[in-house]
Amino acid sequence: MTSYPKEMQESIARVEATRPARLSTKFPRLSLQEQETLLKGFHPDYRPEGKRRLRVGPSWGEAVPHELADLLEAYPLLDPKAVDVSRPDVDVDVLVIGGGGAGTVAAIWAHASGIPAERILIATKLRHGDSNSIMAQGGIQAADKPHDSPAIHYLDVLGGGHFTNDPKLVRALVEDAPEIIRWHEDLGVMYDKEPDGTMVEIHGGGTSRKRMHSCKDYTGLEIMRVLRDEARSRGIPVLEFSPAVELLTDHGGQVVGAVLWNLETGEYTVVWAKATVLATGGWGRLHIQGFPTTNHYGATADGVVLAYRVGAKLRDLDAVQYHPTGAAYPDQLVGLLITEKVRGMDAQPLNRLGEPFVHPLEPRDVESAAFIRECLPPEKGGRGLGILTPTGMVGVWLDTPMVDILHGKGTFQRALSSIYRMYIRFDIDPTREPILVYPTLHYQNGGVVIDEHGWTGIPGLFAAGEVEGGVHGKNRLMGNSLLDYNVFGRRAGIAAAGWARLASPGTPTLAHVERYVHELRSAGVPPERKAPLLLPEYRGEKALARMVDLL
């Protein structure tokens, strides 16, 4: 069984020829110095033409990708004068914006902190659970084995982030981690365990201990659906297909709710809230520098835009995470995630000649840079040793048959069933043939500045999950995003509940939006630019060119 074209099969023959010798060897790890050189030479973040400095707002002067700058330097989608926010359609104690992992955890913990379910609202753009959280495959980190410790985890996180992380946030992350895993056990998450209950844990890129817990390669799906079920059990209301398009503020600048917009009917809904938790996720669907993405349909950085308009500071948004192993063939799968767990289970990246060129588990940015160097043509400074596909994509091999050879027949299908299923649909058997991969836009490393309680520094506004920044600095390690949304979702939910009990919100307004518009005009931002984006534009050019709005 193979659907690989002949040219690719010739390269596969080389992969097979070098395999026996590679089974017992691993490419050496790079020193910090070598890593830095590789990053500077080949990581897309180091291309200065990819970014510009912000000309408006609280993080004025900071460089972010053009695709994000275009949304931050943009006028409101919603005309502040077209809506009446002086009366609420819904009035709650805690509004959670975003129904992925972080939002669901925040809502559960707000409830566990004593806020009645009917005084909480989760508002989300798509369905409850449609998120990057549900797509995570590989695992979640927690230092819970005897030879590991939160302090070692701390060092790994910091090294992976090139020492740019906020130490307080990293501490919260690693210190809460074991408790999060135990909470998941209480909720009924089916972690991979030995018969006696011992967690099966493996390495991820940049980890110095095996601390990656997983649920086959559906870790994100399993945790998300359990959390969603728990929120349902608690009776927490959810408004689906209702993205927030603007936050509300009172005269003192306190965030006191949001305006939601019904994606299907076009109606707006005014929500007054004593505390608001922003859990809108990341930015993959901005396709920064034209990269494909692993992210879900709604990952359009809406929360960063909303928070910026109320004065929240941003950080580390110059750092984009490209996951080294996005699918590069067949075309239907391009950009989709191939979990790092595949490399954690000893599949090696190889070039066209079947030669290894990088350790399989360098931190993600380093690994990605190595792949790009291998594929770029020599005239662009690369090695020109990538594999070309019939549609012009390029990639390197991931030698997936090694998983079963080294760990026993059947391991791949058992431990990596989602990847197996994905390829077998297209007549590629990853237990017998390697798969082609290339870096894909995966994660928003930075985001809204928070403290260790998820507070943004703006009264009434909290943030958790991918929308916030500082936890991972400029590069996140595998398994720390699921951990991040649990740790900070919980902390933000508890803090929001505490705030809601004491808050005395003033009259909700959109005054901050009008002030922001003024600032945009002074900076000469072109009037056609609007944000938040809400959904990416994927309609065919031919159809769009002839589209007129008549009804």
Residues labelled as active-site residues: 323, 343
Torsion angles phi and psi, residue 77, rounded to 5: -60, -40
What is the torsion angle, in degrees rounded to the nearest 10, for the CA atoms of residue 71, residue 74, residue 78 and residue 81? 160
Amino acid at 530: K
Angle at 164 (CA atoms; ends 179, 478), nearest 5 degrees: 50
**Contact in structure between 386 and 374 (CB atoms under 8 Å):** yes
Q: What is the distance between the alpha carbons of residues 184 and 192, in angstroms, rounded to a whole number?
A: 12
**Which residue number, 220 or 460, has a Cβ lying nearer to another protein?**
220
Piece of the chain touching another protein by CB under 8 A; list 317-325, 442-450, 524-532, 543-551: 543-551
DSSP 209: S
Residue 434's CB is within 10 A of a number of other CB atoms, namely 27
Binding positions for another protein, 98-137, rule CB under 8 A: 126-127, 129-132, 134-135
CB of 328 to another protein, least distance (A): 15
CB of 228 to another protein, least distance (A): 9
CB of 158 to another protein, least distance (A): 6
| Residue 407 touching another protein (CB under 8 A) | no
* 320: three-class secondary structure by DSSP: strand
DSSP readout, 81-117?
GGS--SS-SEEEEEEEE--SHHHHHHHHHHHHTT--G
Residues ≥6 apart with Cβ < 8 Å to 530: 74, 75, 76, 77
| Residue 185 touching another protein (CB under 8 A) | yes
Q: What is the distance between the alpha carbons of residues 189 and 206, in angstroms, rounded to a whole number?
A: 26
Q: Binding another protein by CB under 8 A: which of 40, 47, 53, 193?
A: 193
Q: What is the distance between the alpha carbons of residues 471 and 474, in angstroms, rounded to a whole number?
A: 9
Q: What is the distance between the alpha carbons of residues 221 and 124, in angstroms, rounded to a whole number?
A: 18
**Which residue number, 151 or 523, has a Cβ lying nearer to another protein?**
151
Which helix (H) or strand (E) element contains residue 449? strand 447-449
Q: What is the distance between the alpha carbons of residues 461 and 500, in angstroms, rounded to a whole number?
A: 11
Q: Binding another protein by CB under 8 A: which of 62, 222, 316, 340?
A: 222
Piece of the chain touching another protein by CB under 8 A; list 55-63, 159-167, 273-281, 378-386: 159-167
What's the token pair of residue 417? 């069933």
**Which residue number, 175 or 519, has a Cβ lying nearer to another protein?**
175
| Residue 53 touching another protein (CB under 8 A) | no
Taking residues 433 to 472 in sequence order and writing x for each that binds another protein by CB under 8 A, - otherwise, the string is ----------------------------------------
**Which residue number, 58 or 178, has a Cβ lying nearer to another protein?**
178
* Of 262, 288, 381, 237, residue with least CA distance to 71: 288
**Contact in structure between 355 and 323 (CB atoms under 8 Å):** no
**Contact in structure between 345 and 400 (CB atoms under 8 Å):** no
Q: Binding another protein by CB under 8 A: which of 151, 353, 406, 523?
A: 151
Q: Binding another protein by CB under 8 A: which of 2, 5, 163, 408?
A: 163
| Residue 154 touching another protein (CB under 8 A) | yes
Binding positions for another protein, 331-350, rule CB under 8 A: 331-332, 336-337
Q: What is the distance between the alpha carbons of residues 106 and 493, in angstroms, rounded to a whole number?
A: 4
Taking residues 291 to 330 in sequence order and writing x for each that binds another protein by CB under 8 A, - otherwise, the string is ---x-xx---------------------------------
Binding positions for another protein, 468-527, rule CB under 8 A: none
Binding positions for another protein, 4-43, rule CB under 8 A: 32
| Residue 357 touching another protein (CB under 8 A) | no
Q: Binding another protein by CB under 8 A: which of 145, 251, 501, 518?
A: 145
Between helix 219-233 and helix 101-112 the angle, nearest 10°, is 40
CB of 180 to another protein, least distance (A): 10
| Residue 191 touching another protein (CB under 8 A) | yes
CB of 217 to another protein, least distance (A): 10
**Which residue number, 60 or 163, has a Cβ lying nearer to another protein?**
163
Taking residues 245 to 264 in sequence order and writing x for each that binds another protein by CB under 8 A, - otherwise, the string is ------------------xx
CB of 482 to another protein, least distance (A): 14
Piece of the chain touching another protein by CB under 8 A; list 309-317, 369-377, 431-439, 536-544: 536-544
**Contact in structure between 295 and 220 (CB atoms under 8 Å):** no
Piece of the chain touching another protein by CB under 8 A; list 12-20, 177-185, 253-261, 340-348: 177-185
CB of 279 to another protein, least distance (A): 17
Alpha carbon of 443 to those of 42, 60, 116, 475: distances in Å? 18, 23, 34, 9
Piece of the chain touching another protein by CB under 8 A; list 75-83, 165-173, 378-386, 479-487: 165-173
| Residue 379 touching another protein (CB under 8 A) | no
